[in-house]
Amino acid sequence: MKTESSLNQKQGHWILAKLGKKVLRPGGRLLTEWLVRNLEITSKDNVVEFAPGLGFTGSIACSYKPFSYTGVDMNKEAAVLAKKNIRYDKARVIIADAADTQLPDGFADKVYGEAMLTMQPIEHKRAIISEAYRLLKPGGYYAIHELGLQPDEVSEEVKNGLFKDLSSNIRVHARPMTAKEWKTLLEEQGFKVIKEQHSPMLLLEGSRILEDEGFFRTLKFLFNLLRYPDLRKRVQKMKQSFRKHQQNLDAIALIAQKPL
């Protein structure tokens, strides 16, 4: 592990990863598994993942033995880590922007991304979704797993307070959206939303950590929290933010299809 001081400046999800947390998506392991299962990956599919992170979901996707798997990440260090963790001979991870992958039109049968659109301003959200549409063959699926806001009628005042807290404590400019807003965004780029699933936002609650990580990895995570007090304070602030806004935060997964 790198020095505590150098880590403490990083974005919240990488802090959690360095402390030993493997599952970093807002809806946890179960929502990720739902997403991959409903992509209906087959041995004939070319699969593309935007921002594969630690490679956790990529490993699940590759367990379905697709024809190919391509991870797309702008961060070289993250790309190397993902490729190391995805142990599949037909997998690769390329260094590219999810909004401009340089992959051919109609290359993919299935495209997905998790907890990455949330971090983007609205125009970049649109650009990434548009790129997914370009990459897909007609009839192909695009799946997202993101941070959601509830209810659909949540006020701008509540939204702005939540955005401010997340930016301050997670150190990313997170911009979650309501279910209606997420679906509209996909539909504006030409997709038809065909499936929807929600999960409580409990990423740092003890029960969810145990469910996601298992007993021994949870122990490792807790041990590292005790070992690095400055990082523990960061995690505590993140947890406080999530709890403060718990009634307005959730995790959402959507499966959308490119028309035939």
Domains of the chain: 24-154+172-213+248-257 (3.40.50.150)
What pTM does this model have?
A: 0.91
Residue 10: predicted pLDDT: 65
Average pLDDT over residues 151-174: 86
Which residue did the predictor score with more confidence, 3 or 149?
Answer: 149
End-to-end CA distance of the chain: 48
Give me the mean pLDDT over the 140-157 stretch. 96
pLDDT of residue 5: 35
Q: Is the pLDDT at 234 greater than 80, yes or no? A: yes
Percent of the chain with pLDDT over 70: 95
pLDDT per position as a tens digit, 31-67: 999 999 999 999 999 999 999 998 999 999 999 999 9
What is the gyration radius of the CA atoms in the chain, in angstroms? 18
12 or 5: which leads in pLDDT: 12
The pLDDT score that the predictor gives to residue 24 is 87
Percentage of residues in the chain having pLDDT higher than 90: 80
> What's the Cα-to-Cα distance from 185 to each of 124, 208, 256, rounded to whole Å?
11, 29, 11
Give, in degrees to the nearest 5, the angle at Cα 117 between 149 and 188. 85
Are residues 144 and 255 in contact, defined by beta-carbon separation less than 8 angstroms?
Answer: no
CB of 191 closer than 8 Å to CB of 142: yes
- For residue 13, the cross-strand partners are none
Average pLDDT, the chain: 92
Neighbours of 229 (CB within 10 A): 9
Q: In the predicted model, what is the mean pLDDT of residues 89-97?
A: 97
Mean pLDDT of 129-143: 99
What pLDDT, on the 0 to 100 scale, is given for residue 229? Answer: 92
Backbone angles phi, psi at 48, to 5 degrees: -125, 130
Neighbours of 177 (CB within 10 A): 22
Token duo for residue 177: 């959206």
